Amino acid sequence: MTSISQKIVERCLDEIKIALKSKGLKYADLAELLQVSTVTVKRILNQKDIGLERLITLAELADLNVGDLIERAKDSPEPHHLFTDVQDKAFFNNPHLFYYFSELFYFHKTPEKIQQENELNDLSTYRYLRKLDDVGLIKLLPENKFHFLIKAPLGFAANSLVLKRNIALHIQSTCNAVVSDEKDDSYFMRVKPIRAPQAFFLQMAAELKKVVDRYTEVAEVAYIAQTDLPEFQVTIVGHPLKVERNENESIINVESFM
């Protein structure tokens, strides 16, 4: 299929499978209707490069209009998958494991490439892959071959231990960046104390979060495979203002000023 992206096809097939299940159609039923084997049916329903003619046939069997189906798939946001608590804890306790996984998953490197670049021995490579298999991120096969058990976009849950640690590191990086002398159009900062009703502040916060989320969703879909692009840090923070004055800022009795 050349005119429809694999992501859109995948979303269409997900909706088709839900509709087929709701109609009570099983693999055996579809195999009989399509005059193919049940194994072929399973492959078709999970095939990202399925042809348009086959997609139309499946949509008709599910009583779905393929045009509407494709439009909904185009408009629907990419579902965001989250690491489990077990996976998060494994990454928190072993940060090097997360960096190894990142090289595999986000940067599409092979175990051989990672081993070469980091001067790992064979046993370490196997241990990394074995641990990722243990926590359910990959299915390890003979000779260090594997396939992923998860798919992008993938990230951490709000209560993630790794996320909390990374936020602290990123905020420190942001503080260092905004006070440095190195500035260009890529740097921006707004620190604005606002005196206003809480409802006003909450409305502004909601609008800011929507803007960042919208741009993030677009970037995750459009640029996820382009690992050579620069990375930017966007940190928007709002909270009730509580600034504690130090001794030099207090108003005190004075005899004179220096």
- Which residue ranges form the domains of the chain, and what is each CATH number? 6-75 (1.10.260), 82-148 (1.10.10)
Is the pTM of the predicted complex or chain greater than 0.85? Answer: no
Query: What digits encode the pLDDT tens for the residues 70-81?
Result: 887 776 656 668
- Residues paired with residue 140 on neighbouring β-strands, in sequence order: 146
Measured in degrees and rounded to the nearest 5, phi and psi for residue 208 equal: -65, -40
CA dist list (Å): 254 to 37, 66, 197, 251: 93, 81, 37, 9
Q: Cα dihedral angle (121, 127, 128, 131), rounded to 10 degrees?
A: 180
Q: Which amino acid does the sequence have at 190?
A: R
Query: What digits encode the pLDDT tens for the residues 222-253?
Result: 776 677 888 888 888 888 877 676 666 667 76
Which of 32-41, 127-136, 178-187, 215-224 is modeled with the greatest confidence? 127-136
- Residues paired with residue 146 on neighbouring β-strands, in sequence order: 140
